[in-house]
Chain A
Amino acid sequence: MISQELKKVILNELNLDDYDIQDETMAPEVPGWDSLNHVNIILAVEKFFSVRFKSYEVLRLKNVGDLQKLLDSKLGK
């Protein structure tokens, strides 16, 4: 389950009004989510939720579900 807040941060960064983002959604599927924007999204997530990811943690993410799990682990959920 992708939280509404995470979804909002991603859509905001990509300038999208709406997109169906699920656990299995991968970056290349979402319009505009290229390697340059990927960095911006990670930064935006870190800023919004006040967390810090380690680089290798980010590089292991395969889909948005992984990102949600990683975020949850940093928020102590």
Chain B
Amino acid sequence: MIQNIHLEKITELLKYKSGDPLLFNTSLFLILFFLFLVIYNLFKNNKRARIISLIVFSFYFYYKSTEYFAAILIVSAVINFFFGKWIASTDSFPIKRIFLALALILNLTLLGYFKYTNFLLQAISDLRGTEFNPIAIFLPIGISFYTFKALTYIFDIYYDTLKPTKNFLDFVLYLSFFPNVLMGPIDRAADFLPQINKELFISKDDLGRATFLICSGLLKTVILSSYLEDNFIGRIFEFPLRYTGVENLLAIYAYAIRLYCDFSGYTDLAIGISLFLGFKIMDNFNSPFKATSIADFWRRWHISFSKWLLDYLFKPVQISLRRWKIFGNIIGLIVTFFICGLWHGAGWNFILWGLYFGVLMSIALFLQKPKERLYKALKIHNTKFLRFFQIIITFHFIAFSFLLFRLNDLQIAKDMLSQIFEFFHGEVFLQFMEKMPLIFGLIVIGFISHFFPVKIENAIKRAVTALPLAGKIILLAFIIWLITQFKSADIQPFIYFQF
């Protein structure tokens, strides 16, 4: 009897549960991953078995988040594998272009159907003035990410920088690779495929880096993200008018840190886990709030995605419109950032968020030469003094843009801004520090650690790498213990999941 109950409980845990994807910072995942690592290492010398076991685990992981919609992943793999083959098989450019167009249409229709149907239909009925009842369409998490991964394969073959792989399973592994199937980084087929057939070898540096990233990822996602959200940010954003302007401003700053820690923390975990499996995935973040301009910000935030947009959208548009000079660049920017916003979500607030950056970047293009002349005349060109102000100003442009990112009810954004500008009450800041020391402390820690010079970060990485294996295990165990102290009853899912 007791055995039956245990078996039932375990099956319940392992089965798909709606709204409960397998998050990296849960004990269930950690246990399953550890068990899988054991099997994976048993197949150390058998490449085929290793790859197949990884595919099986990846599909189980994806099934846990999307149930039978995991089949879509297979559909995507088949479509893109064959189109890649066909594009490369002909020397005729018109035919290559037809295959490319078809592949694009198929991929974007798949993505569009699941993600944008209701948004599109709502927009049409708004235009018509009719009522609209949303259709129940399940959104398979991660579809935005792996669709874009598949497109890197297609585009790179079309631009002749990649030869298609003859091995269908290799391509399936690339698309379904569980560390980044749900939330990126959007790594390139050209970088991932060659790693599949290498011998499994994890250097000491890789192990050290992986340990560091997993610890950092766990701390960021649980303590600096979920805890801050549940115990401070969420409250202010729900009823901004109940709080003073200074608290609203702090909530905006905290939200910026929260968003960064959530996403970059998950990325850290994804990269760390990949390293344990013997794969190197590209970085996705490079201290984005150190950016001195919007352009610089997008070279540091969601790097895999912005590189994708640059290589496969902006550059082609820019080259096509080259005869329109600066206006060609501007159209390129607006189109690219429109898509950037739209990719993040099927909502007008996301589109506005993207266009906000497109417009700012376009203005920056016009102002580039005059600004440089001004700075040189004032003798502040390339000084730390200038850099300091550029960072502060850029950060505020970014942090306030996140309001659009988070809220589809713009009234709340208006309320927050009105509190900040009309009801600031700076003196409340001292009371805040006194009454909520942990929250305040976490915000400060979040910012200070973000602005650590690279030297300190590298020193910490080296220290972790130098630890013996037992030391690394103890460190991980300690971090896991620490985050369980902070975990609330409900785990906040990663924000980027809805994409």
Do A and B assemble together? yes
Question: Could you tell me which A residues sit within 8 Å of B by CB distance?
Answer: 35-36, 39, 42-43, 55-56, 58-60, 62
Q: How many residues belonging to B are interface residues under a CB distance threshold of 8 Å?
A: 16
CB closest chain-B residue, reference A54? B93
Instruction: Find residues 296-349 in chain B having any chain A CB closer than 8 Å to their own CB.
Output: 310, 315-316, 318-320, 322-323, 328-329
Say yes or no: A43 contacts B323, CB within 8 Å. yes
B138 contacts partner chain A, Cβ-Cβ < 8 Å: no
Which one of B93, B97, B160, B318 contacts A39 once the chains associate, using CB atoms below 8 Å? B318
* Contact B159–A60 (Cβ < 8 Å): yes
Q: Are B161 and A58 in contact (CB under 8 A)?
A: no
The 5 closest A-B pairs by CB, nearest first: A55-B320, A39-B322, A55-B319, A58-B319, A60-B159
Query: Given the complex of chains A and B, what is the CA–CA distance between A39 and B331 in angstroms?
Result: 14
B97 touches A56 (CB 8 A): yes
Can you list 15 A-B pairs, Cβ within 8 angstroms, ordered by A? A35-B310, A35-B318, A39-B319, A39-B322, A39-B328, A39-B329, A42-B322, A43-B322, A55-B316, A56-B97, A56-B158, A58-B319, A59-B319, A60-B159, A62-B160
Which secondary structure characterizes the binding site on chain B? helix
- Which residues of A are found within 8 Å of B320, using beta-carbon distances? 55
Q: Which residues of B contact A36 (CB under 8 A)?
A: 329
Give how many A-B residue pairs fall within 8 Å (CB-CB). Answer: 29
How many angstroms between the C-alpha atoms of A42 and B328 in the bound complex? 14
Q: Is the CB of B160 within 8 A of A60?
A: yes
Contact string, B77-112, partner A, CB cutoff 8 A, digits 1/0?
000000000000000010001000000000000000
Nearest CB on B from A59, distance (A)? 6
Q: Is the CB of B315 within 8 A of A56?
A: no
Chain B proximity of A41: nearest CB distance (Å): 10
Contact call B159/A59, Cβ cutoff below 8 A: yes
Contacts of B160 in A (CB 8 A): 60, 62
Q: Which residues of A contact B319 (CB under 8 A)?
A: 39, 42, 55, 58-59
CA distance A59 to B158 in the complex (A): 10
Cα–Cα, bound, A35→B365 (Å): 14
Q: Which residues of A contact B315 (CB under 8 A)?
A: 35, 59
Inside 8 A of A43's CB, which chain B residues have their CB? 322-323
Chain B residues near A39: list those with CB within 8 A: 318-319, 322, 328-329
- Please name the residue on chain A nearest to B368 by beta carbon: A36
Min distance, Cβ A71 to any Cβ of chain B, angstroms: 16
A35-B310, A42-B322, A55-B319 provided; 13 other pairs, C-beta below 8 A?
A35-B315, A39-B318, A39-B319, A39-B328, A43-B323, A55-B320, A56-B93, A56-B158, A58-B319, A59-B315, A59-B319, A60-B160, A62-B160
CB closest residue in chain A, given B322: A39
Q: In the assembled complex, which residues on chain A have CB atoms less than 8 Å from the CB atom of B329?
A: 36, 39
In the complex, chain B residues whose CB is within 8 Å of the CB of A59: 159, 315-316, 319
CB-nearest residue of chain A to B314: A35
Q: How far is the CA of A43 from the CA of B318 in the complex (A)?
A: 12
- Tell me the bound Cα distance from A62 to B159 in angstroms: 9
A70 to chain B, nearest CB (A): 13
Q: B97: which A residues are within 8 A, CB to CB? A: 56
Cβ contacts under 8 Å, B316 to chain A: 55, 59
Within the complex, what minimum Cβ distance (angstroms) separates A36 from chain B?
A: 7
Residues of B within 8 A of A35 (CB): 310, 315, 318
**Complex Cα spacing A59 to B328, Å:** 16
What is the bound-complex CA distance between A39 and B332, given in angstroms? 13
- The CA-CA distance from A36 to B369 in the complex, in Å, is 14
How far is B312's CA from A56's CA once the two chains are assembled, in angstroms? 11
Residues in A whose Cβ lies below 8 Å from that of B328:
39
* Complex-state Cα separation, A62 to B93, whole angstroms: 17
CA distance A43 to B320 in the complex (A): 11
Report Cα–Cα, A42/B161, bound state, in Å: 20
| Nearest CB of B to A55, in Å | 4
Q: Which of B392-408 contact A (CB under 8 A)?
A: none
Instruction: Give chain A residues whose Cβ lies under 8 Å from the Cβ of B158.
Output: 56
| Docked pose: A53 CA to B329 CA in angstroms | 18
Measured CA separation A58–B160 after assembly (Å):
12
**Chain A residues, CB < 8 A from B323:** 43
Complex CA distance for A58 and B316, rounded to whole angstroms? 9
Q: A58 to B315: give the CA distance in the assembly, Å.
A: 10
